[in-house]
Amino acid sequence: MMNYIQTIRKLIGNEMLMTVGCGIIIEHENQILLQHRKDRDVWGIPGGVMEPGETFLETAVRETFEETGLIVEQLKLFGLYSGEEGFSEYPNGDKVFSVQIIFYSNCFSGELTHNTEESHEHRFFPRNNLPHLNSHQERFIQDWVNQMTLPVIK
């Protein structure tokens, strides 16, 4: 099944596309869940792009389940992120500008899946020992590290 992004990419090629990304900072025992991406050698939070008709919450929960196998509940708004850090160019040349809606939860169930289509593994990390982060997600992960007052709006 072709998704919205694939459909639009057929029409515009690699040109700039605006997207809405939704992700979840999942915390367990004062540690954050990060995924090691396959497309880039970086770590970031689970999440992805909103499909037409979805709510922010539906997108975050769906993407997190697809990527991790976890069912996340009791989401709270963590932050809204926009600005220059939202620009990205993928290895295939696709350009995007993404506005990010980030949630927080420490309530989840299910079995953590590791080797998925998009990631090598998932692991919980303490605030003082984070791996090489996805530069496009680093600001909200650092806001979690610094225990910013929520919601964060940047």
For every one of its 154 residues, what pLDDT tens digit does the chain have, with 9 covering 90 and above? Answer: 458 888 999 999 999 999 999 999 999 999 999 999 877 789 999 999 999 999 999 999 999 999 999 999 999 999 999 999 899 898 899 999 999 999 999 999 999 987 777 778 899 999 999 999 988 899 999 999 999 988 988 8
φ and ψ at 94, to 5 degrees? -65, 135
Task: Tell me, yes or no, if 121 is annotated catalytic.
Answer: yes
Structure tokens at 62: 């769906």
For the domain spanning 21-153, the CATH number is: 3.90.79.10
**Contact between residue 28 and residue 40 where contact means Cβ atoms under 8 Å apart:** no
Domain boundaries, the chain: 21-153
Alpha carbon separation from 54 to 16, 58, 85 (Å, rounded): 22, 6, 24
pTM for the full predicted model = 0.91
**Contact between residue 141 and residue 101 where contact means Cβ atoms under 8 Å apart:** no
Name the catalytic one among 85, 117, 121, 138: 121
